[in-house]
Amino acid sequence: MKTASLTAALVLCAASSHLAAEDKAPAPPSAATVTTLFDGTSLNGWEIRKGEEKWWKLQDGMITGGSLTEMVPYNSFISTKKRYANFELHLKIRLSKEGEGEGFMNSGVQLRSIRVKDSSEMSGFQVDAGIKYWGTLYDESRRNKQLAGPIDAAKIALAAKDWDWNDYKIRCEGPRIRSWINGVPAVDYTETDPKIPQEGYIGLQIHQGGKAIAQFKDIQIRELPATPGAPKWDKEPTADH
């Protein structure tokens, strides 16, 4: 009886430890496995769509999108030139404004996305950033809807900093997408549509309709083993899908 009780206790302890680990943000990637996507000195490895150069620049060691003096007329993105499937992404993001700001001040990080043909848009998953949108996952220019809200909205409201730097950690593995904001679990979403691509570009957004800038720095990625047979983008989508 004592042996059985001890065994049961050990099993429960192990299960509890596993659940606790699931809730914690992944540790920063080690130097041996990390790739720096933005080093603060150049935009090498990034693409700005022709005609949108005025909305994106390298400034003070940061990728900066948007404007404090002019309304951004459309959603604009800067994206990686390389596609990624399974990965753990770490970056810092900040939204800035002058005074009270103006219009819709919002940003986000595109995951497993692709450029939309003859459009400024990117299509794919977006981990959102901004007031009322911290800790949400949106399907940009595809299903055009919020896919998941914060795991705990109250905790995210306390953790997210509206006009200061926020540390984002995003993990994509198979159909599952998770994110953390300043170490607090934000999104835990599992895609159920087997046709949705599990690879694509990473993009940074400045949303249309606002006078604000989105700033990004310390962008690092650790690639994870690919999922065998996972769906991929087979063509560039059009604006009318």
pLDDT of residue 73: 97
Question: Which regions of the chain does DSSP assign to beta strands (E)?
Answer: 35-38, 46-48, 56-59, 62-67, 76-80, 87-96, 102-103, 107-115, 122-129, 137-140, 145-148, 166-173, 176-181, 184-190, 201-206, 210-223
Q: Are residues 56 and 64 in contact, defined by beta-carbon separation less than 8 angstroms? A: yes
The secondary structure of 82-132 as a DSSP string is S-BSSEEEEEEEEEE-STT-EE---EEEEEEEEEPBTSS-EEEEEEEESTT
Q: In the prediction, which pLDDT does 100 show?
A: 84
Q: In 3-state terms, what secondary structure has residue 210? A: strand
For 1-53, what is each residue's pLDDT tens digit?
444 444 444 444 444 444 444 455 555 555 558 999 999 999 999 999 999 99
List, for residues 97-117, the tens digit of each pLDDT value. Answer: 998 889 999 999 999 999 999
pLDDT at 11: 42
Across the range 203-218, mean pLDDT stands at 97
Q: For residue 77, what pLDDT is reported?
A: 98
Fold of 2-223: Jelly Rolls (2.60.120)
Q: What is the pTM of this model?
A: 0.86
- Whole-angstrom distance, CA of residue 214 vs CA of residue 106: 8
What is the per-residue pLDDT for 23?
Answer: 57
pLDDT of residue 237: 86
> What is the mean pLDDT of the segment spanning 194-221?
98
Residues sharing a CB contact under 8 Å with residue 138, sequence separation 6 or more, in sequence order: 108, 125, 126, 128, 145, 146, 147
Kindly report, residue by residue over 112-171, the tens digit of the pLDDT.
999 999 999 999 999 999 999 999 999 999 999 999 999 999 999 999 999 999 999 999
Q: Is there a contact between 106 and 96 (Cβ–Cβ < 8 Å)? A: no
Q: What are the residue boundaries of the structural domains of the chain, listed by start?
A: 2-223
DSSP state letters, 72-94: --S-EEEEESS-BSSEEEEEEEE
> What pLDDT is attached to residue 26?
56
